[in-house]
Structure 1
Amino acid sequence: MSETIDTRALPAVITTYLTVDQARDLDPALACYTDDAVVTDEGRTHRGKHEIRNWLNRAASRYTYTTTLVAAHHVDNEHYVAVHHLQGDFPGGVVDLRLQFTLDGDRIAELVIEP
């Protein structure tokens, strides 16, 4: 069961990641991940920093959109959820995405993105 928290209460690595990802700043975003991290987005799984780098590159160039962090949840000390409201030129134009983070210390070990 998760607890709703203030978005400012998310761990530093998550807030850093969300900030640099929104700025489409690839290297600092990649630095937030563990070497063997896993990202699942749009039904595809990307393993390790090489695949995650490729995914970040594609995601940044595919569509133009704005994001607003609208909610955050604390599941336990390793699991957090950030809810982003996106608006842009992607199919449908508007979506709320749940970014489900699993942390390993001060790095992201897993990220699952789903509506």
Structure 2
Amino acid sequence: MDLPIILKNLLKAQENFDSISYSECFSDNAQVFDEGKTHKGKEEIKDWNEKTNEEYKTKLEVIDVFNEDKMTVLTTMGSGNFDGSPIILKYNFEIENDKISSLKITS
């Protein structure tokens, strides 16, 4: 699959449970929506990723990727320490200037 470099970097950071590198994939004013909460800015995104890494140890396997208008949708098989694992997760990205400006995670 032909993924944008920024998404390759994000997946590598997640694979290594590296919240600093993960957050660096986002723009300064980026937003992440996950589990009913919104995390704004790199610092909140880093903190959210650290917490989810510690709690869930999520591993992602890419199943599909497609672009729709300004949105890139990455479909993954997510596994880890959570109920229902493994589960299909959709990562809905908006990318601007080679950085992620918005991410909404849905199942």
Deviation at 1:65, TM superposition (A): 3.9
Opposite residue 64 of structure 2, the aligned amino acid is: A
- Give the greater-gyration-radius structure (CA): 1
Structure 1 unaligned residues grouped into runs of 5+: 1-6
Pick from 100, 109, 114 the counterpart of residue 106 of structure 2.
114
The 1:16–1:98 alpha-carbon spacing in structure 2 relative to 1, beyond 3 Å, is: same
- TM-score w.r.t. length of structure 2: 0.92
**Structure 1 CA distance for aligned equivalents of residues 92 and 35 of structure 2:** 13
Opposite residue 111 of structure 1, the aligned amino acid is: L
Aligned residues: 107
Pick from 2, 6, 13 the counterpart of residue 13 of structure 1.
6
Opposite residue 98 of structure 2, the aligned amino acid is: D
**Structure 2 CA distance for aligned equivalents of residues 45 and 103 of structure 1:** 17
Match of 2:97 in 1: 105
Match of 1:90 in 2: 82
- Secondary structure of the corresponding residue to residue 67 of structure 1: strand
Structure 2 unaligned residues grouped into runs of 5+: none
Aligned-residue Cα RMSD (Å) equals: 1.3
**Structure 2 CA distance for aligned equivalents of residues 66 and 14 of structure 1:** 15
**Structure 2 CA distance for aligned equivalents of residues 89 and 19 of structure 1:** 19
**Structure 1 CA distance for aligned equivalents of residues 88 and 45 of structure 2:** 22
1:35-79 Cα offsets, whole Å, 9 max, x none, are: 000000011100111211110111110023432111111113x32
